[in-house]
Structure 1
Amino acid sequence: MDNSVSKEVQILYKNLLDAWNNRNARVMADLFTEDGESIGFDGSQSIGREEIFSHLKPIFDDHPTARFVSKVKDVRFLSSHIAVLRAIAGMLPHQQTTINPKVNTHHTLVVVKKDGNWRIQLFQNTPAQFHGRPELVEQMTEELSQLLK
């Protein structure tokens, strides 16, 4: 697949994280397809733009959410209109400058192109706790911390 198309998918992911980091539930929800799905870090599931918005709005209204720092690891095209993006992400707690390794995560997006626009069909935010392997947590945190320099 063309590198510029891969960039379009990566920009969609960046826009998703920017919406989170700017605490904008409407913008974040609108990046999804009408029946898109979001699975949160805690396992909560929201299906459809309006449910995603309704889930996110009180989080942003009532909590000082941490900011994402991420690194795209792979973009794989299943067809010219369907792609899977995998990334790793860490979070900077409110008013802090170092990543909290307890909430490192793997992000997976399934994106589809409809009417000329890429939209998120599925966003899954999976904890990267690496049970019993603290060196992997440290390795991921270091890789993400390099992005802050």
Structure 2
Amino acid sequence: MHARSEHHETSRDPADERAIRELFEKLLEDWARGDGGAYGSRFTEDADYVAFDGSHTRGREEISTSHQQLFDKFMKGTRLTGRIESIKFPAPGVALVHATGGTVMRGKREPSPERDSIQTLVAVKSEEGWRFAAFHNARVRPIGRGLGAFLIWAITDRLWKTFGPGRNAA
């Protein structure tokens, strides 16, 4: 069964699209500087942020704090690559953004393929200008592209079931 929906995009304002692209670029720059406060400032006060591992952060302050902790430890010296693939305006003052990218680890020049990700973001226009109200990041792990990809998926899924949170490792 195929669901069909009528999608009527509102008219595109080139200035709005440019502002959203600039907001996304600032997000990448903030990450490269390791500035959690600036990174969080790109989001609304009540934003929802879902990371690649499924962790869910709520609100600008929590996004800022959690990212600063990452920048100070595990992600210190890293940077993001990213490109907006599409921007749709389903309603005035609302944009649906799809982007792709990866994390360049400290000492590396390019992201490794296992860090390839795709993001869905919702941007809203407010008195502050455009801000992201929602961010969802997913690692690119297609399972239908050959036996090797399927085996990697199956093994990591099994490891998660065995050793994930709440499991007693032997």
Moved over 3 A (4+): none
**CA positional deviation for 1:116:** 5.4
TM-score by length of structure 2 reads: 0.74
TM-score by length of structure 1 reads: 0.83
Structure holding more strand per residue: 1
Let me know the Cα RMSD of the aligned residues. Answer: 1.7
Structure holding more helix per residue: 1
Aligned: 1:56 with 2:67: yes
SS in 2 for 1:121: strand
- In the alignment, what sits opposite 1:107? 119
Letter paired with 1:68 = L
Give unpaired runs (5+ residues) of structure 2: 1-11, 150-170
The count of corresponding residues between Structure 1 and Structure 2 is 135
1:127 to 139, 147, 158: 139
- Larger RCO, structures 1/2 (Cα 8 Å, 6+ apart): 1
Q: Report % sequence identity.
A: 27
Aligned: 1:15 with 2:26: yes
Larger Rg: 2
SS in 1 for 2:16: helix
CA deviation map 1:75-132 (0-9, x unaligned): 0001220001111102222111132100100011101001151011001111111124
Structural mapping, 1:1-149, within 5 Å: 1-63=12-74, 64=76, 66-115=78-127, 117-133=129-145
- In the alignment, what sits opposite 1:144? none
